Structure 1
């Protein structure tokens, strides 16, 4: 439709003026930007719905009459003087909440040129914030005439001619008197959940964000005008980009979904009924990854990981970690990659990466130099952990590249990624659970070695995992027959499209449970939406500090405390330390997850018992020292267990004693072995201890077969 400014002001001027006066009096102008909320305006003036179409069709042309009305409204309220007049020239209009122009990024084509669109996507690249000449002050050098012009096209040199009939000279820009705004270049990628085929490469669009305070990661809602940029000077081919002055971080998927759930009373009744069923967690956790047969405890832990623990804040506002980190160490063929890929596709904020093809920066965040239209070329590229904020980062083949592990440590420890390079200093949120997997060093488990010894993960990183599950492929005729039958049924069902026995939905007391329902159940439990008093909190902007969640009951608290104290007591004296405070916190988190997964209003003793059982099973697999018959947390965290430390100390004493008695001050290895046998230390252990002592520089060997203390 053809735009006529005079007609526009005649039709909408009075209503716009009344609306703007109300907004100005509520101090809705920030940093010289007035956000014109189209949706809110139409709520108050429903008979002016055509203004929405006018703005969508002609966003650049509508700005000037809106600015004119804004200036009049402001002057009516506060009067006019030279200072006010000068400040009003700096004012910008930002469009917010337009109706009927929602697009997916792959739908933004040349047909949308010069139109207003609204879309959402993930930030995959963000440059530094720079200054943009937004309202140029033109001065005529011949007659002194002054005029202001809003800059809409970044890639054309602004020009203006004197309006004085007797002059008509080309005017010059007075840069000191012109108005500037912040601008930031972003690249926004279409989210996988909005793609027709998730396996297709995602589309992205460049966005120039005006009035930006600096945004570097997250899923965002963008309102902007589709523009064009000439790519080659001698060819009429243009790149499509979006000029925006309103971008806001989108709500997380779970908060959007929970709003739909609490407005669907039939669905709420169904979910509440499921929560009352006996063993509902076991049933749903098995159904969560139907392609894999067995490993029920691992599936339960992963299911609880998706539910997450309770959201809790310290008095200073910092949040306690609610995510559980899980490591799977598996023989080949177990299906670890299948598990990780399934979880990565469960929710949009879950992400998958394999260390075989990823870099440390690709997992966390990169600051790299690339060609940009504005700034000095330094851009931030958020990695997997940042994209998985509020979700789960699924990291496959964790031990393939040791250099990557140092990047992962900070992400797991503080759940933030600090970036400081190229003049960019930002902190990116990475509040996600980690589900990682790897194979043993030699491909398969060596039964003569401890589990943790076979993976080569540094102790500081290994200690960040709440649960470590070794999954061994041991031949068993009955179990192998069940797995073979399960795999064959899976292939038959996918070939015939008759999903029934393995991949189909299941019935629980008349309730049909499919993948969509299990997602809703997890979100319902995770957000504590089963508390009626939380429903009104999800109606608007969600304040997580006010969300009610299940507290620890006295019985659960006592059970966890007694378990921790009793286990610690086993480490008194010269005994190995069985657990640390990290296992205590893990028990609390898993107890809360289990209570929420049952839709319980309180963490009960049975929740605490399940949590303790899961942690004990992991300790039994990775921290049990067969030499002492006790748990040793150092062994489970990749450190040398106390039984071996004692042997090393004894070998040091033997070397010291033999060195004093020998004429050359050296201890013969044969004598060391003979002396060590008196203390029940085998020849193999002596060889291992000597290797470790040499590596730690406690002893050295000046010639083959002889040792001396350093």
Structure 2
């Protein structure tokens, strides 16, 4: 906060210097080492420490921050500091006009969530506004004090600038007393400029009732610029003032609140806004059960019958694995990603919405959403940036350190593909456009649902071939489940019976005839607020692998790698082993254990094997094949495609117009392949440009 030099000292400077020596002895030394008399040197003071020192002075700060900050700067300057510059030998003393004090860590009663205040009550007050950064403009310079040269006499007149965007000129020359004309001198020593930036705060997604909930803008200056980036959660402290809204360049009668940022308190802790203590006894009771994961599974979308394996996987996903930073600089993510592929009407969207409801931080969105930022983030030109470029956060950034439930994942725009890939693997998103180079945080867990390419899932074709998804992104999912709508009389009867019971509960609620007994079929075993607290509490633990768990996971990896013949497909990769470790870590967190047991490893292996049976088995050979997930194509498919290409290459030498379609199919069938498989291989070769048609249904290789 800038300090006006004409303010009188209200408090005793010597008493305030004692405050600094009492609470900030070590910080004073570091501040002294970094002191530069030619720049603005900011010293941060905690409100809580100031309150302990003098509660009246601390409370005065909320009412008269300029006056109190002036006193604090005076107290800082009154400390007897002087030292010798080793290079010049000059004695350096603190210059009061080069000092500033910033008060952070405002009390709870002065901190508000975005929109959680009365406009009249907060207007003009000193407060902290808590929220998530949704947008950020480019960094610009703003003039605080302008020097003007009188064209008639050459004298300089210094004019402090007001808070609006217009440049205030002098009324008359201080030397010749004429009313100009004046020439603004932007590079004069007396012209003071500071960095300037606007950010937009919004409620985080788990607190927002709708996508259009209230926002508030904050103006940042000096060293606060670039301190926050879209996706960050923070409290911006400053004076809250109402400003005129403009329609283009025309002011309107509407007022909008704006924060003049004075300090920023970053909210770094995971789920720091979740009330855990009041649910702790219930959490420990659940965790102490012989099999707590079953209770959790029963609490995920109880109105949807079945899908226990998927619900168990979602539970592990919400509890998460341990993020690791290794001594060699390598980073291992703790987030795990899940994809559900299947027929329409099977409840995929309902599972995603329920997971969003249970997760302490979560966003539900669609792969074909229409926002400018998309799933990742974007640099856009809009009114917020006064026509300039603005960094806008997408869903994966908004769900930083939380869950992004993405429906219709296969409908992503091409621009989102690379960003989603980076977020899932590197946990960040890079934006480079119009001179903006920014990296946004995205330590986000992805729970996605996708529909098959042809509308219905075909259990005889590899999953990777049935969705419009880049194999590189597909391979980043730790678990992939398939859901098919296949008739089964017994199962269908159970589903229909369950759905009618759930509907009956809803009908009784509508008629005020609801009873506790009626609720059994649709009531979760764990209340959503308890589940959120459970997850938040468990994620504070960083369980460690025991020897038994290490041996169990190692044996599984080796067994899978040696499951096929020497010339068969590779059944698993090291990346899948990392997925097993994350699942085992999550299982230990469910038990609130700091040790990953053999049982945790066994559970991880079981759920992973379930997915391998869905996705990792080549339908042509019945063998596990890691390439299906890693590259989108099995070894048998690659072998067949290579053979068909060779057949076309041999035939084109004999046929002037290229290899005839029927001849290629017949030779493929002679090698033991079905006609449909041969034609799929031909289509695949055409799509990737390996062959072309010089004449209809005649092929030549492109090489």
C-alpha displacement of 1:427 = 1.3
**1:248 pairs with one of 265, 278, 295:** 265
Partner SS, residue 362 of structure 1: coil
Deviations 1:490-534 (A, max 9, x none): 34444516562134353xxxxxx4222222222222211xxxxxx
Q: 2:216 aligns with which of 199, 205, 228?
A: 205
Instruction: Provide the secondary structure at the position in 2 that maps to 1:420.
Output: strand
> What is the distance in 2 between the residues matched to 1:317 and 1:688?
45
Checking the alignment, whether the CA contact within 8 Å between 2:300 and 2:524 is kept in structure 1 is: no
State whether residues 270 and 536 of structure 2, in contact with CA within 8 Å, keep that contact through their aligned partners in structure 1.
no
Task: Return closer, same or farther for 1:140/1:11 CA change in 2, 3 Å cut-off.
Answer: farther
Partner of 1:116: 126
Secondary structure of residue in 2 paired with 1:293: coil
Q: The residue matched to 2:219 in structure 1 has which SS?
A: strand
Could you tell me how far 1:318 is from its partner in structure 2?
Answer: 4.7
The offset of 1:155, in angstroms, is 4.4
| Equivalent residue number for residue 78 of structure 1 | 82
SS of structure 2 residue aligned to 1:389: coil
Partner of 1:286: 298
Displacement of 1:340: 1.4
How far does residue 237 in structure 1 lie from its aligned partner after superposition? 4.7
Give the TM-score of the pair, scaled to structure 1.
0.83
Distance 1:663 1:377 in 2: 61
- Contact map agreement 2:588 2:594 (CA 8 A) in 1: yes
2:577 is the alignment partner of 1:584: yes
> Would you say 1:478 and 2:490 are equivalent positions?
yes
**C-alpha offsets along residues 659-685 of structure 1, whole Å, 9 cap, x if unaligned?**
56x575855544444444443223333
1:50 counterpart = 2:51: no
Q: CA deviation at 1:558?
A: 1.9
Does 1:554 find its partner at 2:547?
Answer: yes
Instruction: After superposition, give the CA deviation of every residue in 1:254-285 in whole Å (9 maximum; x if it has no partner).
Output: 2454xx64xx4x85454333222122112212
Q: Residue 591 of structure 1: CA displacement?
A: 1.5
Residue in structure 2 matched with residue 105 of structure 1 by the alignment = 114
Alpha-carbon distance, 1:703 to partner: 3.8
SS in 1 for 2:321: coil
Q: Does the alignment pair 1:96 with 2:115? A: no
CA gap of 1:665–1:142, structure 2 versus 1, over 3 A, is closer
- Stretch of structure 1 that moved more, 651-660 or 207-216: 651-660
Task: Give runs of aligned pairs for residues 395-410 of structure 1, distance below 5 A.
Answer: 395-403=406-414, 404-410=416-422
Q: Which residue of 1 aligns with 2:37?
A: none
Structure 2 residue 610 is the aligned partner of structure 1 residue 610: no
Moved more, 416-425 or 688-697: 688-697
When residues 147 and 298 of structure 1 are mapped into structure 2, their CA distance, relative to the original with a 3 A threshold, is same
Cα drift, residue 619 of structure 1: 1.4
Tell me the TM-score normalised to structure 2 length.
0.84
More displaced 10-residue stretch of structure 1: 671-680 or 420-429: 671-680
User: Relative to structure 2, which stretch is displaced further, 456-465 or 209-218?
Assistant: 209-218
Where does the alignment leave 5 or more consecutive residues of structure 1 unmatched? 507-512, 529-548
Q: Please name the residue that 1:684 is paired with.
A: 676
Q: Which of 533, 538, 554 is 1:525 aligned to?
A: 538
The 5 Å alignment of 1:12-31 reads 15-20=15-20, 23=24, 25-27=28-30, 31=40
State whether residues 10 and 71 of structure 2, in contact with CA within 8 Å, keep that contact through their aligned partners in structure 1: no
Tell me, yes or no, if the aligned pair for 1:192 and 1:348 is still in contact at 8 Å. no
Distance 1:594 1:663, change over 3 A: closer
Q: In the TM superposition, what are the counterparts of 1:60-459 in structure 2 within 5 Å?
A: 60-71=66-77, 73-74=78-79, 76-78=80-82, 87-99=95-107, 100-106=109-115, 107=117, 109-134=119-144, 153-155=163-165, 157=167, 175-177=188-190, 179-194=192-207, 198-199=209-210, 201-210=212-221, 211-214=223-226, 215-217=228-230, 218-231=232-245, 237-257=254-274, 261=276, 264=277, 267-358=279-370, 361-372=373-384, 377-403=388-414, 404-459=416-471
Question: Are the structure 2 counterparts of residues 704 and 387 from structure 1 closer, same or farther at C-alpha, using a change threshold of 3 Å?
Answer: closer
Q: Which consecutive unaligned segments of at least 5 residues does structure 2 have? A: 35-39
C-alpha contact 2:129 2:237 (8 A) present in aligned 1: yes
> In the TM superposition, what is the alpha-carbon distance from 1:583 to its structure 2 partner?
1.1
Deviation at 1:585, TM superposition (A): 1.2
Secondary structure of the equivalent of 2:544? coil
For residues 188-234 of structure 1, what are the alpha-carbon distances to aligned partners after superposition, in whole Å with 9 as ceiling and x for unaligned?
Answer: 11335555xx1373111110012324022211111110223344667
Contact 1:90 1:179 in 2 (8 A): no
Aligned residue among 615, 632, 644 for 1:639: 632
Distance 1:641 1:608 in 2: 28
* SS, match of residue 153 in structure 1: coil
Structure 1 range deviating more: 406-415 or 642-651: 642-651
Task: Summarize the Cα distance change of 1:559–1:91 in structure 2 as closer, same or farther, 3 Å threshold.
Answer: same
Q: Which moved more, 1:572-581 or 1:151-160?
A: 151-160
**Aligned partner of residue 615 in structure 1, secondary structure:** helix
| CA distance in 2: counterparts of 1:479 and 1:303, whole angstroms | 24
* Aligned equivalents of 1:690, 1:234: Cα separation in 2: 65
CA distance in structure 2 between the partners assigned to 1:657 and 1:144 by the alignment: 89
